[in-house]
Amino acid sequence: MFSKSIIWSTVVTFLFFYFVPAVFYAATTSCFEEYVLIDIMRTDIMPGILAVGVLLLSFAFVHIFQKWSGGVFSNKNGFIFGLWIALLEIISIGFIRYSTSDAFEAPFYALDGIYWLAMYTIGGVLVAFVSRKTS
């Protein structure tokens, strides 16, 4: 459960999923804010709690990828895995949230879905690369 490959892949994935979204959303705030109907963001983000959540996400992402890929840590498998996770977690939930809440307009969900699709596919390739190098 805690092999060298899983630990290193989790660390690299954690760093990617923790820092890249913060930079992206800071850079694109003006683009996204025109689609926000109700601002639900915290004014005081809790970095420790965020880190725990991202660490759990990263560990699960790596662990599921390594089981799913059957030991074949190719970039193609990582990319496809990222697509499936984005479809499961972001795109489908975006449709559900848009149909049930009034916080954001449709373009927000579309742009956010595209962003996270890219993040998870890049994350999948990153996990495949690190898993291949450390196993």
Question: How many residues are present in the chain?
Answer: 135
Q: What confidence score (pLDDT) does residue 34 get?
A: 87
Question: Considering the domain boundaries, does residue 19 fall inside one?
Answer: yes
Is this prediction's pTM over 0.75? yes
Residue with tokens 């193609």: 76
Number of domains in the chain: 1
CB 60 within 8 A of CB 66: no
Question: Considering the domain boundaries, does residue 31 fall inside one?
Answer: yes
Structural domain harbouring 101: 4-36+51-134
Q: What confidence score (pLDDT) does residue 38 get?
A: 86
Q: What is the pLDDT along the chain (135 residues), one digit of tens a residue?
A: 789 999 999 999 999 999 999 999 889 888 888 888 888 888 888 999 999 999 999 999 999 999 999 999 999 999 999 999 999 999 999 999 999 988 999 999 999 999 999 999 999 999 999 999 998
